[in-house]
Structure 1
Amino acid sequence: MLLAVAAFGLLVGAVLGLVGAGGAIIAVPALVYVVGVPVAEAMSTSLVMAASSSVAAVLPRLRHGINWRIATTVGVVGIPAAFLGTAVNAALPQPVVLLGFATLMIVAGIQMLRPRPSASGERPPGRGWVWRAVLVGLAVGLLTGLLGVGGGFVIVPALVLLLRMPIGAAIGTSLIITIVNSIAGVIAHAGVGSVDWQITVAFAAPAFLASLIAARFATRLSGRMLQVAFAVLVLAIALLTIVRTILTW
């Protein structure tokens, strides 16, 4: 089984490197339905992958392109929210969690089909940004703990639309938030005994390496084409997840 886990780690890492986000969206259904990993373990495994991949992606942005005030506020608020989301996850039946995850996939797929907003016309957060950052942190933290995703595809639009950040700064800031929330999610899942470290390492290590290699080729391909192809893949997997979950419930 570990070979199958490693193979899917390579696939998910390659997708993450090419598209820049969304690896956990396809990681959880692949681990659950193809490899046979329990839902809770699949989600904790995807969080480790999200954290390690975000570390690789954020390194070139540490000196520039990160709003540390917003990253700290959203990240700190998201930590207890991630623990709360994990507690709710543990109390829900697996089919309910999978249907919620499929719904999130549909939202993510639609979001990926939309063109990213440009940086023109964006303004600094301004007054009252703290409360908006707190709301974003609560929502993303709950999402991380409940469904086992880093939430980058949700964080970036929230930072741009609610906190008026330029898209470049939003991407860099979202990576820091993803790292913090994913680590909190892993710790929370470990607290309820849902982390299989052997499977996690077998999946996350190949995913990390594949994302680094794939990122080198991403610049040679059309970003819009990659986004659309990924969105179609996510929507197809979401529909299959819904059908499979309903039929086996």
Structure 2
Amino acid sequence: MLIAIATASTLVLTAIMAMAGVGAAFILVPIFLALGVEIHAAMAVALLLNAISTSVSTATFIRKKLVVWKLAIPITVVAVILSPLGVHVSQGLDRHVLLWLFSGFLVFASLMMLLYSPKPTGRKSSVRTQMVQGSTIGGIAGFVGGLLGVGGGSIIVPALVGTGLDPKNASATASFAIVFASLTGFLAHATLSGVDYVLVGSTAAASIAGAALGAWLMSEKLKSHQLKYVIGVVLLATAAKMVWGLL
């Protein structure tokens, strides 16, 4: 029964998060904990599912030519490099205060997605500008993600949309970066606790199916402005979940 709940939750949540280009690990972890899974094992499994699901959705996004490579590559490289630094710094800071600050950021980002519509400039950014933007966004996402133990997608997507990038391209580009960030996090947590292979086996297929469904809905069914609202709601729900855990 518990495995069935975990599998169904993984399918639904992964589909929703795949549309927004955000991994579902941050929601799956508390569900796994409620089912009695040890915390590091729960994080390891959730991050592995993140890597699996974003790999599936990213394959669709690449096929649809939605990934902006000149942004995706620097975001990924810098995020992976700075994520361990964030983990190290977090050991000497008050995590409770940091989570409150991050929750406030998520509320701001969600309102930006729901209410703000950046005006297209009408011209493409130069390669150098895109590399600088990607490196900056990746650095912040990697460092803050490591600092707080959360995925960087909730930072990358609104930041890219804020620069004027189409929400579909922003979600697809963030999804690519999350594949590698999730794998890094999985390896870190897997060394602290054994992986629950029964849980992995029961949820991996659901993760693949959910990611394929979410990627299809995003690329084929949703308009860019509709996706923007989906992302905003996902970010707001993320903030609410974090605040709930802090109260």
State if a TM-score over 0.5 links the two structures.
Answer: yes
Which residues in structure 2 correspond to 1:1-249 (within 5 Å)?
Answer: 1-21=2-22, 23-32=24-33, 34-62=34-62, 64-88=65-89, 102-103=103-104, 105-107=106-108, 109-114=110-115, 117=118, 121-127=122-128, 129-161=130-162, 168-193=168-193, 196-216=196-216, 219-220=220-221, 228=229, 231-232=232-233, 235=236, 238-239=239-240, 241-246=242-247
Give CA-to-partner distance per residue, 1:3-34, whole Å, 9 cap, x none: 332222122123235555453443344444x4
- 8 A contact 2:83–2:142 mirrored in 1: yes
Q: 1:182 to 1:217 in 2, by over 3 A?
A: closer
- Distance in 2, matches of 1:116 and 1:28, equals 33
- 8 A contact 1:50–1:149 mirrored in 2: no
Look up the equivalent residue of 2:137 and give its one-letter code.
V
Shift of 1:62: 3.1
Shift of 1:183: 1.4
Look up the equivalent residue of 2:243 and give its one-letter code.
I
Q: 1:211 to 1:143 in 2, by over 3 A?
A: same
- Distance in 2, matches of 1:225 and 1:167, equals 9
Q: 1:111 to 1:4 in 2, by over 3 A?
A: farther
Identity of matched residues, %: 28
Task: Give the structure-2-normalised TM-score.
Answer: 0.71
Where do 5+ consecutive residues of structure 2 fail to align?
Answer: none
Local SS of the residue matching 2:125: coil
- 8 A contact 1:54–1:176 mirrored in 2: yes
- Distance in 2, matches of 1:53 and 1:222, equals 22
- 8 A contact 1:28–1:42 mirrored in 2: yes
Look up the equivalent residue of 1:71 and give its one-letter code.
A
Look up the equivalent residue of 1:5 and give its one-letter code.
A
Look up the equivalent residue of 1:135 and give its one-letter code.
T
Shift of 1:112: 4.3
Local SS of the residue matching 1:172: helix
Where do 5+ consecutive residues of structure 1 fail to align?
Answer: none
